[in-house]
Amino acid sequence: LDTLSSQECKISDLECVTAPAFEIGRRFKRVNPDKMRSEYGKLVMLLRDATQNSIQSQLEFESIVRPVKNVKNLLGSFGLQALLNDQRLPLATNPLPLRATPEMIQAKEAARNDLLKQYGNS
């Protein structure tokens, strides 16, 4: 805290900390909509204000608002969005029941291996 409160610390030095912190808060709120009710509203207002040009010039860094990171965007960056619509995906990724039969285990492994063969080299 001494470093953050000292006069030598520039606000621009905090960009690498604030953007990931806001991303964590945003993800937490998506998973737990009943939590952080007032805090999340304050966070959204803070982020909205931070996008204004007059405030960005005082912050000395570009907006800390980033697109939401998700699997769809990540797969899209690799050209693999078709994987999300593949009918074998649920079988390959859903957990097996506690008393899974050998056939169920084999079907899951086959689906996973087929997906790896088709999308693994892209």
Residue 29's pLDDT band, with cuts at 50, 70 and 90, is: confident
Mean predicted confidence (pLDDT) in 99-109: 95
In the three-class reduction of DSSP (H, G, I as helix; E, B as strand; rest coil), residue 86 is classed as: coil
Are the CB atoms for 29 and 35 separated by under 8 Å? yes
pLDDT digits (tens, 9 = 90+) for 79-91: 999 999 999 999 9
pLDDT category at 28 given cuts 50, 70, 90 is confident
Amino acid at 27: R
For residues 21-44, give the mean pLDDT.
83
H-helix or E-strand containing 117?
A: helix 102-119
Q: How far apart (Å, rounded) are the C-alpha atoms in residues 39 and 47? A: 12
Can you list the positions of beta strands (E) in 1-122? none
CB 111 within 8 A of CB 88: yes
> What pLDDT does 10 receive?
65
The reply to whether the predicted model has a pTM over 0.85 is: no
